């Protein structure tokens, strides 16, 4: 049994329960329409189920080898830290610069961080993902994504 997995599983369950609690303040979905709480509801269910699976699997798992020590000098740990900082900057910049501009910069940066070096493919995939997400949120979910205050919106 890995104690850290159980701890993070419990944290995940608590976050999932908190999201469900906050979703109670969202307006009710209209018949035939997907409301604002649809996507967070799916994410909360997914987080709850995977957290529960993590707890159960760690209880029944036998420890066969010791975990490697945590080192800040590991390249993977450094990439994770950089991606965390980049995600925070992305979220903060979205109000000012808008979803489209920020996402078109954020996605290629993350691909580069994950060692993708096909630059044309990075730009095409970023454009396709940005356009698809924007269209799904604006057309299907009727949720307006920020267009940016710097552009006057």
Please check whether residues 54 and 83 belong to one and the same domain: no
| 80 neighbors 71 (Cβ within 8 angstroms) | no
Please check whether residues 35 and 88 belong to one and the same domain: no
| 50 neighbors 92 (Cβ within 8 angstroms) | no
Please check whether residues 105 and 129 belong to one and the same domain: yes
Please check whether residues 87 and 31 belong to one and the same domain: no
CA distance 124 to 128: 6
Please check whether residues 56 and 79 belong to one and the same domain: no
Task: Express each pLDDT in 70-107 by its tens digit.
Answer: 777 778 888 888 999 999 999 898 888 888 889 999 99
Per the structure, how many domains does the chain have?
2
Please check whether residues 92 and 128 belong to one and the same domain: yes
Q: Is residue 145 part of a domain?
A: no
CA distance 32 to 147: 27
pTM of the model: 0.61
| 77 neighbors 71 (Cβ within 8 angstroms) | yes
Q: In which domain, by residue range, is 44 found?
A: 3-60
Task: Express each pLDDT in 1-35 by its tens digit.
Answer: 588 888 999 999 999 999 988 888 877 767 767 77
């Amino acid at each position: 049994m890995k104690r850290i997995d159980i701890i993070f599983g419990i944290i995940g369950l608590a976050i999932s329960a908190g999201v469900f609690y906050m979703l109670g303040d969202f307006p009710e979905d209209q018949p035939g329409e997907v409301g604002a709480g649809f996507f967070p509801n799916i994410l909360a269910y997914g987080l709850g189920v995977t957290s529960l699976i993590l707890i159960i699997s760690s209880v029944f798992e036998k420890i066969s080898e010791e975990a490697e020590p945590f080192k800040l000098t590991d390249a993977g740990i450094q990439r994770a830290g950089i991606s965390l900082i980049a995600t925070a900057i992305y979220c903060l910049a979205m109000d000012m610069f808008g979803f489209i501009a920020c996402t078109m910069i954020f996605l290629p940066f993350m691909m580069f961080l994950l060692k993708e070096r096909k630059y044309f493919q990075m730009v095409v995939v970023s454009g396709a993902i940005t356009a698809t997400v924007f269209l799904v949120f604006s057309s299907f979910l009727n949720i307006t994504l920020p267009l940016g205050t710097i552009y006057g919106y």
